[in-house]
Amino acid sequence: MIVSFFNPYAGITGLIATVFAIALSHFTGLNERSIQNGTYSYNALIIGIGMGSIFNFSSAFWLLLLTIVILSVVLSVVLQNKLGRYGLPFLTIPFVVCLWIILLVTKDFEAIHFTFRNIYWLNDVYAFGDQRLVNFIMFMEKLDMPALISTFFRALSSLYFQNNILAGLLIATGILIHSRIIFSLIIVGFLSAYCFNNIVMAHPECMNYYLIGGNFILTSVAVGGFFVVPSFHSYLWAIISVPITFLIVMALGSVTGQWHLPVYSMPFCITVLSLLYFFALKAQKGRVVLTPLQFFSPEKNLYNYLNNKERLLNANTIRLQLPFIGKWMVSQGYDGNITHKGDWSKALDFIIVDQELKTYDQFAAVPENFYCFGKPVLAAADGFVEKIEDYIDDNAIGTINQKQNWGNSIVLKHAEGLYTKMSHLKKGSFKVQIGDFVKQGDIVAACGNSGRSPEPHLHFQVQSAPAIGSKTLSYPLAHYAVSINGKSAVKEFSVPKETEIVCNTAADPSLKQAFEFLPGFNLSVKADGMEDGKWEVFTDAYNQTYIYCHHSKSIAYFKRNENVFYFISFEGDRKSLLHYFYLACYKVYLSTEPSVIVADKFPLQLTKNTAIKWLQDIVSPFIIFGQLYYESFHKIRSNDFLNPTIAIESKQILQFLSIKRITHQFVIEISDNRITAFSFQRNNKQIKAVCIPKSY
């Protein structure tokens, strides 16, 4: 916006058009977030800059400007509605249409006159500035630099109807600070257009600064990393899009030229809309991915996409749990060497062991001496009992029944094409019948030693068909804990490995209540040296729940299930208390099981803009060498059964290549079944935020 004031008249009209469009949007009750994002005012801005560059000021000019801004807002709303149905943006179509209308009708308006200010634009700069600014601009214009670089900067300046090197340099600097990916894409777009033109030897008018900046560069940015998640394939399409735009520029120019109309950025709109619709139709998995959630920064779009792809990959899958109570060892895992082979390789066998890794007490003489024999077997998820076999005797220790391989078994149906089967169960131990509905965790039978089982164990598998002998299916368990060297690590949507000791996790009532943020819940947060926070929980039109801070206008989206509370994304002031709470409680395990470490990853844009972070941004579409980790750990400060006091210690760990360092540390205090405070360091000062809940 500042660059537009190199032509002061254009800058003034652009500012007035923008302010008027925003005021009109508020007056007509348009979407507040869209107004803040500039959805309805960006086209008005460039219309104002364009008109200020073309016409002389007069009362008729201002009336015409305000009228056409109203039309641009109306067109923006209409196109947003129509194109939005297909997930498409309306880009700069309102700007092009409105300016075409102005150019077509003004020849009949005697009070509207074209300006000659652009010929003597330095005089205007001098009038609004001083001789030093004029001298510096002239110095840049006369600077000896390669024609390619000079053309590049002039093309960038044309985005704001300028034609000077200094404006282009300032725009390039601003873009580099804002986004390294966009900066790389404007270079890709410019060089692609330059090379294509040198090959086809097009007419010089096809390579003027306005066409390069307003079409070729913008198309490269839009296709390469703004509306598409940046990747190797998106950069490839950015290169491909430039020749396509080039052809549309030439073809459309021959049509609009008959009415003496410039093509402006209409070729950019046609190319981008066509390609985005093509990508949506083709759904090229793993290649070109349309930006699922727009953060108006290619880096943020990419890092959030990669983060959510990993964190939320299984958000809609059926959550299976381990089919037993307590800690069991995986005696044979997927692709095991004993019996888990071929079509039946994706199965798990479980046993119970003691500290000496023995599976039995006293002597291994009878099944009853084995720790797991007779232990309850649970439903892994809600479902219906599909099959039961309960007539096979349990084997004596050391013998097997190869004729009735699976032994006593039960098959539960959880969804179409998704079944679980438990086998080698104890004869006569079944608690359910075929057709019964069971809930997750219900006891269905007991562990036995029937079928091909030399000693008591539980066989568990997921399958896509209801038959007891069906082929296995690889499918993760939603949530379980693994014991490693005396500590427990939480695993999500994973498959236990052979020899691991695993158990289900149970939510602690106090933690569960503390993180039960229902719509309407209010929380007042105060901390010395920081702005107070008034937080309220809402649910949006897409049934996404979020915490909104009325003071900082920040939003933190979150989810919660039976075992975990976790944040999805944050928008707003990164110096607010809500942002620190988002970092502290990024993922909270709702269990007080001792020694459990919860691990996760933050999106990488939460790191500070250091030199190595800029390097990561530049190469991020092709390789990720940095990670931002999250870890949390529970400490029980009071074992009062009715009112336990719990501290959750969490930290943020930044890793680039093999170098790791802790960037943030937090402590969340929970008492009386609620979050009472959380503390963190800011500017080398320890901050403690006190949380005071309010009634619904």
- Same domain membership, residue 520 and residue 461: no
Judge whether 449 lies within some domain: yes
Compute the distance between CA of residue 379 and CA of residue 411 in angstroms, rounded to an integer. Answer: 10
Instruction: Tell me, yes or no, whether 464 lies in a domain.
Output: yes
* Residue 580: its H or E element: helix 577-584
Q: Label each residue of 586-618 as H, E or C.
A: CEEECCCCCCEEEEEEECHHHCCCCHHHHHHHH
Q: Taking Cα atoms as reference points, which of 470, 472, 453 lies closest to residue 462?
A: 472
- Between strands 347-351 and 408-415, the pairing is unpaired
Distance of alpha carbon 421 from alpha carbon 347, whole angstroms: 10
Backbone phi, psi, residue 143, to 5°: -60, 135
Per the domain annotation, does 372 fall within a domain?
A: yes
* 556 is a domain residue: yes
Alpha-carbon gap, residue 172 to 150, rounded angstroms: 12
- Whether 529 and 456 map to the same domain: the answer is no
Rounded to the nearest 10°, the torsion over CA 670, 674, 676, 681 is 60
440/519 same-domain check: no
Give the model's pLDDT for residue 635: 79
Please provide the size of the chain in residues. Answer: 696
C-beta atoms surrounding 330 within 10 Å? 21
- For residue 612, what are the domain limits? 509-694
Residue 229 falls within a domain, yes or no? no
> Strand 458-463 relative to strand 347-351: parallel, antiparallel, unpaired?
antiparallel
Eight-class DSSP state of 392: P
Q: Is residue 182 part of a domain?
A: no
Determine the pLDDT at residue 566.
92
80-88 own/partner pairs: CB under 8 Å, 24+ apart: 80/34, 80/39, 83/273, 86/277, 86/280, 87/276, 87/280, 87/290, 88/273, 88/276, 88/277
Residue 6: CATH number of its domain: 1.10.3430.10
Give the pLDDT score at 695. 55
Conformational region of residue 88, where left means phi above 0, alpha means psi within -120 to 50, and beta covers everything else: beta
Q: Can you list the residues of the chain whose pLDDT is less than 50?
A: 696
687 & 552 share domain: yes
Q: Which of 101, 129, 157 is the last residue of a domain?
A: 129
In sign, the C-alpha dihedral spanning 503, 509, 514, 520 is positive
- b/e string for 452-465 if b means 16 or more Cβ within 10 A? bbebbbbbbbbbee
Structure token pair of residue 552: 């900082």
Whether residues 562 and 455 share a domain: the answer is no
Q: Please answer whether residues 329 and 316 qualify as being in contact, where contact means their C-beta atoms are separated by less than 8 angstroms.
A: no
d(C-alpha 675, C-alpha 515), whole Å: 8
Residues 628 and 690 in one domain: yes
Separation between Cα atoms, residue 9 and residue 294, nearest integer Å: 33
Q: Which of 235, 232, 229 is nearest to 289 (CA)?
A: 229
Q: Which amino acid is at 515?
A: F
Q: What is the pLDDT of residue 526?
A: 92
The answer as to whether 176 is a domain residue is no
Q: Are residues 535 and 681 in the same domain?
A: yes
Q: Is residue 278 part of a domain?
A: no
Q: Are 412 and 420 in contact (CB under 8 A)?
A: yes
Are residue 454 and residue 596 in the same domain, yes or no?
A: no
Given its phi and psi angles, is residue 251 left (phi above 0), alpha (psi -120 to 50 degrees) or beta? alpha
Q: Give the domain-ending residue among 451, 475, 499.
A: 475
What is the Rg, in whole angstroms, of the alpha carbon atoms belonging to the chain? 33
Instruction: Give the integer Cα–Cα distance in Å for 592 and 512.
Output: 11
Q: Which of 76, 102, 129 is where one domain is finished? A: 129
CA atoms within 13 A on the CB side of 314: 13
Beta bridge mates, 57: none
Q: Count of domains in the chain?
A: 3
d(CA 330, CA 327): 10
State whether 526 and 387 are in the same domain: no
pLDDT score at 555: 94
- Which positions ≥6 away from 197 have C-beta within 8 Å? 206, 207, 246
What is the rounded CA–CA span in Å between residue 554 and residue 583?
14
Q: Which among 235, 229, 227, 302 is positioned nearest to 272, based on CA atoms? A: 227
Q: What is the pLDDT of residues 111-158, one digit of tens each?
A: 888 876 665 555 555 555 566 666 666 777 777 888 888 888 888 888
pLDDT value, residue 696? 44
Cα(694)–Cα(568) distance, integer angstroms: 24
> What do you get for the CA distance between the two ends of the chain, in Å?
44
Amino acid at 245: T
Residue 574 CA to residue 551 CA, distance in Å, equals 13
Contact 598, 482 (CB under 8 A): no
Q: Are residues 466 and 563 in the same domain?
A: no
Looking at the fold, whether 538 and 683 belong to one and the same domain comes out as: yes
Q: Tell me the CATH number at 376.
A: 2.70.70.10
- What is 171-221 written as a DSSP string? HHHHHHHH-HHHHHHHHHHHHHHHHHHHHHT--GGGG-HHHIIIIIIHHHH
Residues 23, 113, single domain; the answer is yes
Tokens of 185: 């894409």
